Structure 1
Amino acid sequence: MKRPIEHGLALVALVPLGFLAVFFVWPVVAILRLGLDEGGVLATLGTAEVWRLVGFTVAQAAGATAVAVLAGLPVAFLLARTNLPGLWLVRVIILVPFVLPSVVVGLAFRALMPAGGVWSIVLANAFFNVAVVARTVAGLWTHLDRRAEDAARALGASRLRTFTSVTLPALAPAVGSAAAVVFLFCATSFGVVLILGGARLRTLETEIYLRTVELLDLSGAAALSLLQLGAVVAALSIGAVARRRRETALRLRGQAESARRPSGGEWFVVAAALAVVGLLLVPVVSLLNRSTVDGWRALTGFGYGGSLEISGLDAIRNSLAAATDATLLAVTLGTMASVVLVSAARNRLRYVEVIDTAFMLPLGVSAVTVGFGYLITLDLLPGDLRTSPVLVPLAQAIVVTPLVIRIMLPVLRSIDERLRQAAASLGAGPWRVWWEVDVPMAGRSLLTAAAFGYVVALGEFGATSFLARPDTATLPVAIARLISRPGELNNQMAYAACTLLVLVTIAVVALIEFGPRRVSVGEF
């Protein structure tokens, strides 16, 4: 019986794995090979400048991760242990920064901290990732048995001692999982460092961009890409181990504990959480305040006087079209990959974790490496995709697909196996079981994944900035071009475009939260 199952899963897996091979592995290997063939990799890695870049990349990512964890823990308590009114609004507010385009966040923090610097980069990256910590940790915290904490308190332990000795060790799998993913996101941050760091502060990601686009140093870019790829694989491996521990802890904890009103010292934690939520609003409000009527008029083409090659409306249309195509493709591939991973794990097939990690790699590999790889490989495919308008949606789908998988996997894994067995006992085949049991129960999560993927694709900047032509520029690319050019009208147009992306993001996040079934997008 196991052999037909393996064959069926292999056929389904061929589609997402084939897409990953052609549109991710092949371009990345091609650019690395091109750089290696030119030589100089060892010389690049042996320079003090490169290791200063590595040091700064690791330091700012570690700092941002620490800030995100410290800020996210009180919010996780608020979401998991309290039943205060308005928690839906808290969920919306903390999720908005995570799906905002990096160029928008960079511009928001540049408005708040015009001098830039290390702290602006650290705070901006932490601003992005508070939601990952809060929602991942809250998912486990909800299931913790309060009796252990009550016992520690009865034995005379203070609230702080109870948290550090009882609660925090129990939350360690979720904290470790969230921290690994946040570190990965911060270490590969592109738009934020590009805008706030300028020429003074560079990470591996921005240095790869500089060497590829401006210096044409393919050998040096390849060396840095190899270094970054090794770090990404390590972070993903650590995250996978922590994620398995968190899922095991969730299974052992059983049903969720009911939320209750805070008492005593817990109000200090609630106050800290609300302070974090308030601080998350500051960059967004600051950005909205910089938007002007003149900027909106210029962006929409009325009284246009900016320096874009296309109108703002055309950039908006390009963004919407590319995001729609990328989302449809990513949801299809992500759903197929999730079904394969769940079925393979259920049947105890080998290499499940290897395949899972492979699907996550696009989250950490330099978008510049992928984009440049497209330009030197895709001419070998029929139709020369390098000049095709589908190039940007393909690149965006590579980024969105792992996020769809991470949303869909926990839901598919949580479906009671007895339901499948009952359907099979009534004569349904494997595909009929999947259609009748899995699809209805995971349907709402699929809609959530589609909405979440759409807003991420809408704001994707890394690969799109490299691949979009002047006449096919998306809104984030247009924003980056506007702020790099002199003139007050260009700045006003950039802030108007950022405001538009913020409003769209808030609307989509609100739809996700008001859906029939809430799904944590912190399941990374």
Structure 2
Amino acid sequence: MDLSRPAIARRRPSRATLARLALLAPPLAFFALFFAYPVATITGRGLREDGAWQFGRAAEVITDADTLGVLWFTVWQAAASTALTLALALPGAYAFARLDFPGKRLLHAVVTVPFVLPTVVTGAAFLALLGRGGLLEDLWGIRLDTSVWAILLAHAFFNYAVVVRVVGGLWAQLDPRQEEAARLLGAGPFAAWRRVTLPALQPAVAAAALLVFLFTFTSFGTIQILGGPRYATLEVEIYRQTAQLLDLPTAAVLSLLQLAAVTALLAAHALIVRRTEAAHRLTSAARTAHRPRGAAQWGALAAVLAVIALLLLLPLAVLIERSLSVPGGYGLGNYRALASTEGGTFLVAPWEAIGTSLRYAAVATVIAVAVGTLAAAALTRRAGRLVRGFDALLMLPLGTSAVTVGFGFLIALDEPPLDLRSWWLLVPLAQALVAVPFVVRTMLPVLRSIDDRLRQAAAVLGASPARTWREVDLPLARRGLLVAAGFAFAVSLGEFGATVFIARADAPSLPVAVARLLGRAGELNYGQAMALSTVLMLLCAVTLLVLERLRPLRSGELV
């Protein structure tokens, strides 16, 4: 019997596999061209000299005392920021998961606003609160800008929602009767929580901690504004070596060092996420939250509301107050000044940055949704190592040096056949790189929740994969697609690290405009920076609140 032909037939790729590869092709091409190629080019430019690799240079940079100091501060502040964020946000995760109180849904949206704010707005808000002429100095004569405390508080402000959503999602699904049984057996409230609830929450706490560590490890805009010359993370040092000292070899080594650290963090996060998903499957369905009972729960809720008011709302309120502050009182003078080119900071009026940013973000959203939705569709079903590796690749732009990507755009895309350096679309492309992971993380749960039998029925009736997607998946995933688009828009609106390199002087984005105004002395420049930051904050906040009206985001979809 000739078994060769059946054996060959069995090895032929199935129709589903071919469809998956077709879905993966555009995202792979996008990441290869606009992520891998620029990063590889700028790294190679820095580490190659006269056609030879200069690996000795890498050893010199890594062992240099200044590099070790920057690396130590990067790791130290990220660990401290993570610990502070967990301490402040875990009670909030409990309150949103287990307690019911008036205004809960609105407050849940409000605590997410800082996460989608641009880092330069976060820096500007804390500068208005803690810096020169800020609220703290006005009241008590204390300044905390250019201090590590300002950095840690700003990072906790930015990442509070990560812990609330990731940990709170699992906490809401834990069966409270297990903890109640421990109480009946004589355990106190804290002992029951420590021995029963905390072990069950460990996967979610670890996943949230890793995400917070990743975001603070790669912090750039916040450190630039609040850290001053004393403090620099790897990302800030890469920017300094690239833009100020033009030392590409050192910048390339630091970029590779950061990339290696981020890759390890993402691998650990992927492992923990799988454990968290298993924990979700093992828990009961979500329990109905209840009104606070007893003094302890009312006290916990009051403490959570106080933290939200002081950590999240106060900086934003002070930012708005400073934007309205003018000589002699309050008014709209700073906003009116945005329509003028007085001061010479920009070639155009700062107000034009608003329209420019909206156009950039809109185009970036279209690109990110197209690429991210195709990637999510390919990842919907469980697959082998190759597809899981692509899933990890999609997260790399969140941790890779945005400075390296932005400068790589300038170096790699400035000659034929990819002479795109003066093309306005470069900015939306850079913004889309950062937005794609959010689209994928939002769409994956939505697409995986669609009953596969619907797709099979469409296939039996003769529908092609494209028609099945158009007539089955798309109608069911429409709201999720709108949420993904909203997040992509908010993230693109606030992208700063790469945009600062490639935005033209006559078409600055809002974050770039804010950073340039804060970098120049003068009361007018400071007031304009506060006004633009307020506009940017309101745009992001309105976008997020609209999304919350569309559909309350489930825990884990944020990141």
Q: TM-score, normalising length from structure 2? A: 0.90
Question: Which residue identity is paired with 1:320?
Answer: L
2:140 is matched with which residue?
none
* Pairing of 1:186-201 with structure 2 (within 5 A): 186-201=216-231
Q: Which residue of 2 aligns with 1:209?
A: 239
User: Where does residue 299 of structure 1 map in the other structure?
Assistant: 338
1:113-262 → structure 2 map (5 Å cutoff): 113-114=130-131, 115-262=145-292
Structure 1, unpaired ranges of 5+: none
Using the TM superposition, give the Cα deviation of residue 381 of structure 1 relative to its aligned residue in structure 2, in angstroms.
4.7
Partner AA of 1:373 in structure 2: G
Q: Which residue of 330, 348, 366 maps to 1:328?
A: 366
Q: Per-residue CA shift, 1:371-428, capped at 9, x if unaligned?
A: 1111111124546111111111110011111111111112222223344444445554
Partner of 2:474: 439
Question: C-alpha separation between the residues in 2 aligned to 1:480 and 1:380?
Answer: 30
The letter for the 2-side match of 1:32 is: T
- How far 1:306 moved relative to its partner? 5.9
Alpha-carbon distance between aligned partners in 2 of 1:417 and 1:8, rounded to the nearest angstrom? 15
Distance in 2 separating the partners of 1:430 and 1:68: 44
> Is 1:339 the counterpart of 2:377 in the alignment?
yes
Q: 1:416 to 1:165 in 2, by over 3 A?
A: farther
RMSD: 1.7
What is the match of residue 514 of structure 1? Answer: 549
Matching residue of 2:136: none
The answer for the alignment partner of 2:322 in structure 1 is 290
Structure 2 Cα separation of the partners of residues 294 and 45 of structure 1: 49
Between the aligned partners of 1:296 and 1:523, the Cα distance in structure 2 is 32
Question: Does residue 78 of structure 2 align to residue 61 of structure 1?
Answer: yes
Query: 1:427-454 deviations in whole A, cap 9, x for unaligned?
Result: 5444443333322222111101111111
Counterpart of 1:335 in structure 2: which amino acid? T
Tell me if structure 2 keeps the 8 A contact 1:77–1:141: yes
C-alpha displacement of 1:274: 1.1
Q: Secondary structure at the match of 1:109?
A: helix
How far the C-alpha of 1:8 sits from its partner, in A, is 1.5
Report the CA distance shift for 1:249/1:432 in structure 2 as closer, same or farther (over 3 A): farther
Alignment of 1:51-130 (within 5 A): 51-114=68-131, 115-130=145-160
- Tell me the equivalent position of 2:28: 17
Aligned counterpart for 1:363 among listed residues 384, 398, 404: 398
Q: 1:453 aligns with which of 466, 488, 497?
A: 488
Contact 2:420 2:426 in 1 (8 A): yes
Instruction: Say which of 3, 27, 49 aligns to 2:38.
Output: 27
Following the alignment from structure 1 to structure 2, what is the Cα–Cα distance between the partners of residues 523 and 375? 31
The letter of the residue matching 1:59 is W
Query: C-alpha offsets along residues 259-315 of structure 1, whole Å, 9 cap, x if unaligned?
Result: 1112222223222221221121011011000013211011133x9556322102221
| Per-residue Cα deviation, 1:103-155 (whole angstroms, up to 9, x for no partner) | 11111111222232111111111110010110111111111111211111111
One-letter amino acid of the counterpart of residue 337, structure 2: A
Question: Do the aligned partners of 1:448 and 1:519 also contact (CA within 8 Å) in 2?
Answer: no
Separation in 1 of the partners of 2:473 and 2:93? Answer: 29
Once the two structures are overlaid, the 10-residue window that deviates more, 264-273 or 166-175, is: 264-273
Q: What is the CA–CA distance in structure 1 between the aligned matches of 2:476 and 2:16, rounded to whole Å?
A: 22
Amino acid at match of 1:330: A
Q: Which letter maps to 2:282?
A: L
Provide the C-alpha distance between the structure 2 equivalents of 1:443 and 1:132, rounded to a whole number of angstroms.
25
Q: Which amino acid aligns with 1:288?
A: I
Name the SS of the counterpart of 1:192 in structure 2: helix
The separation in 2 between residues aligned to 1:170 and 1:381, in whole angstroms, is: 56
- Counterpart residue number, 1:476: 511
Measure the CA separation in 2 of the matches of 1:466 and 1:203. 18
Q: Does 1:268 align with 2:299?
A: yes
Distance 2:223 2:510 in 1: 19
Give aligned-pair identity as a percent.
50
For 2:538 and 2:440, the matched residues in 1 are separated by 26
Quick one: which amino acid aligns to residue 353 of structure 1? R
State the match for 1:5 in structure 2. Answer: 16
Change (3 A) 1:369 1:18: same
Letter in 2 for 1:29: A
Deviations 1:193-241 (A, max 9, x none): 0111121111100000000011011110011111100110011011111
- State yes or no: 1:278 paired with 2:309: yes
How many residue pairs end up in the alignment? 520
Q: Does 1:407 align with 2:445?
A: no
Q: Aligned-pair distance for 1:52?
A: 1.0
TM-aligned CA deviation for residue 164 of structure 1? 1.1
1:376-387 alignment, distance < 5 Å: 376-382=411-417, 384-387=419-422
1:70-114: CA deviation from partner (whole Å, max 9, x where unpaired): 222111112211221201221122111001111111111112222
CA distance in 1, matches of 2:123, 2:370: 31
What per-residue deviation string (whole Å, max 9, x for no partner) do you get for residues 302-339 of structure 1?
x9556322102221121111111101100100000000
Equivalent in the alignment of 1:351: 386
Which range is displaced more, 307-316 or 333-342?
307-316
Matched-pair contact (CA < 8 Å) for 1:93–1:277: no
Bigger Cα Rg: 2
Residue 416 (structure 1) aligns with: 451
In structure 1, give the amino acid aligned to 2:317.
V
Shift of 1:7: 1.4
Cα offset, 1:186, TM superposition: 0.4
Determine if contact 1:298/1:305 at 8 Å carries over to the other structure. Answer: no
Q: Is the 8 A contact 2:517 2:528 kept in 1?
A: yes
TM-score normalised by the chain length of structure 1? 0.96
Query: Does residue 1:504 correspond to 2:506, yes or no?
Result: no
Q: Find the partner of 1:390 among 420, 425, 435.
A: 425
**Shift in Å at residue 517 of structure 1?**
4.9
Q: Which moved more, 1:505-514 or 1:325-334?
A: 505-514
Q: Is the 8 A contact 1:44 1:220 kept in 2?
A: yes
Counterparts of 1:452 and 1:480, CA distance in 2: 23
CA distance in 2, matches of 1:400, 1:322: 13
8 Å Cα contact 1:96-1:509 kept in structure 2 = yes
Find 1:313's aligned residue among 338, 347, 351: 351
Distance in 1 (CA, whole Å) between partners of 2:115 and 2:485 is 16
Q: 2 CA distance for matches of 1:3 and 1:161?
A: 54
Between 50-59 and 350-359, report the one with greater CA deviation: 350-359
What 5-or-longer segments of structure 2 have no aligned partner? 1-11, 132-144, 325-331
